[in-house]
């Protein structure tokens, strides 16, 4: 069997498959279904400084080959995540976990990251400057190079663990933003978050989602994600975590050829809760099919 191991910002993963934030809770929910230690790691639910109820309902709209969500970063706040969620996670997951962090001010990001940085089980801080369905924060930091760099510098000043900045595809120049984050000290880049989408109810003539617009995800955005991963990986000298519409072992290989060191799986978890486990198990056969002996050898290997 070929080697599935990859190294993400200095931490070894047994395989590159990572359930994406917001689709895998805090892990223990899925641990009731299978041994989640089969995964490389996972990115837990987006965490903010203070508790958030999230956006009003309805929050979900179905689409062809995807979905739109506007959950709005619902979470109990960093203090409760540390006190209540991480102990439950630790009981069922015995690897470093990726902590996903969001904020509404630079100080929020720094505060939350400083708290999570002290937690032994947190391996990486995935800093989300790209959420498209909250007002007054999130994506607003990820659409300008200067703002993304400011968040990066603030987080790096209070942390010792690898910081991976999660970027938005809802921009005209993803490369300049990624390079600004790298220059500000980011240890990795994570992309893409959801695209901005909208659906309308033909009977009521009103938006289906109460928030009007939300994050569009699913297989339909995969080609956009591959393109952006390719562009950013060519431009920066730090690892890239690719995501966006990934739903098979073949998709993982394609993302890695584009330049991803590891690959996150998002919306597919909501369709099939076993999808990440199945992708990990399918990878050896797909590697053999395409003559791949070591996944590290194909990172950025598109010709």
Catalytic residues: 131
The answer to whether residues 78 and 47 touch, using CB atoms and an 8 Å cutoff, is yes
Name the β-bridge partners of 51.
Answer: none
Q: Report d(CA 137, CA 132) in Å as an integer.
A: 9
Q: Are 276 and 226 in contact (CB under 8 A)?
A: no
d(CA 84, CA 81): 5
How remote is the C-alpha of 266 from its chain's centroid? 8
Residue-wise DSSP of 145-197: HHHHHHHHHHHHTT--S-EEEEPPSSSS-HHHHHHHHHHTT-SEEEE--PEEE
Cβ atoms within 10 Å, residue 33: 10
148: its two tokens = 């993304």
């Amino acid at each position: 069997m070929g080697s599935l191991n990859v190294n993400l910002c200095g931490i070894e993963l047994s395989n590159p498959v990572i359930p994406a934030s917001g689709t895998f809770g805090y892990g223990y929910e899925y641990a009731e279904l299978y041994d989640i230690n089969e995964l490389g790691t996972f990115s837990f639910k987006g965490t903010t400084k203070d508790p958030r109820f999230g956006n009003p309902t309805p929050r979900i709209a179905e689409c062809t080959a995807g979905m739109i969500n506007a959950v709005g970063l619902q979470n109990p706040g960093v203090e409760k995540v540390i006190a209540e969620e991480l102990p439950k996670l630790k009981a069922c997951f015995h690897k470093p976990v990726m902590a996903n962090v969001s904020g509404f001010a630079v100080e929020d990001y720094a505060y939350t990251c400083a708290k999570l940085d002290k937690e032994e089980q947190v391996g990486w801080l995935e800093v989300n400057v790209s959420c498209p369905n909250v007002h007054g924060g999130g994506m607003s930091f990820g659409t300008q190079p200067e703002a993304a760099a400011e968040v990066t510098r603030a987080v790096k000043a209070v942390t010792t663990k690898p910081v991976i900045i999660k970027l938005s595809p809802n921009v005209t120049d993803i490369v300049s933003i990624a390079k600004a984050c790298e220059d500000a000290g980011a240890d990795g880049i994570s992309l893409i978050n959801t695209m901005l989408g909208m659906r309308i109810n033909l009977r009521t003539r009103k938006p289906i989602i109460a928030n009007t617009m939300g994050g569009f995800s699913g297989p339909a955005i995969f080609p956009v994600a591959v393109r952006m991963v390719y562009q950013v990986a060519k431009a920066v000298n730090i690892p890239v975590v690719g995501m966006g519409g990934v739903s098979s072992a073949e998709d993982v290989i394609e993302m890695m050829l584009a330049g991803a060191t590891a690959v996150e799986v998002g919306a597919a978890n909501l369709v099939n809760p076993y999808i990440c486990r199945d992708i990990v198990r399918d990878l050896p056969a797909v590697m053999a099919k395409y003559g791949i002996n070591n996944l590290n050898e194909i990172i950025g290997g598109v010709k």
